[in-house]
Amino acid sequence: MCHTELFKQAFKLIPIGDLPLSDCCQHSGDIDATSIEVTVFSSVETKQKIQFKIGVFFREVLAGCACSDDPSQAVAYENGYCELAAELDKTTAFISFS
């Protein structure tokens, strides 16, 4: 498996609170963890690290009122997107963002 696919799998294991996506949110900052999709634009490999330029697609949760007494209408979503630089340490498998 190539390092891009390994990175995508590792990225999905990062807790939502540890991802730097809040700056990309337009409203509540609450992100639907099941909606996160990563696109890798480029990668550069060195002896110790792999640097990635990535795009992250997600849905931001917009909580509202259920004026029609239908609780399913109380939550809406808005699509979000963020570009990040990430670095994967080959020794520790730790991912950091800048």
Q: What does pTM read for this prediction? A: 0.80
- Name every residue whose Cβ is closer than 8 Å to that of residue 55 and which is 6 or more positions away in sequence: 38, 39, 41, 81, 82, 83, 84
Per-residue pLDDT of the chain in tens (98 residues, 90 and over written 9): 688 888 998 898 899 889 999 888 887 778 888 999 999 999 999 999 999 999 999 999 877 655 666 666 667 788 999 999 999 998 988 899 98
Distance CA 14, CA 40 (A): 16
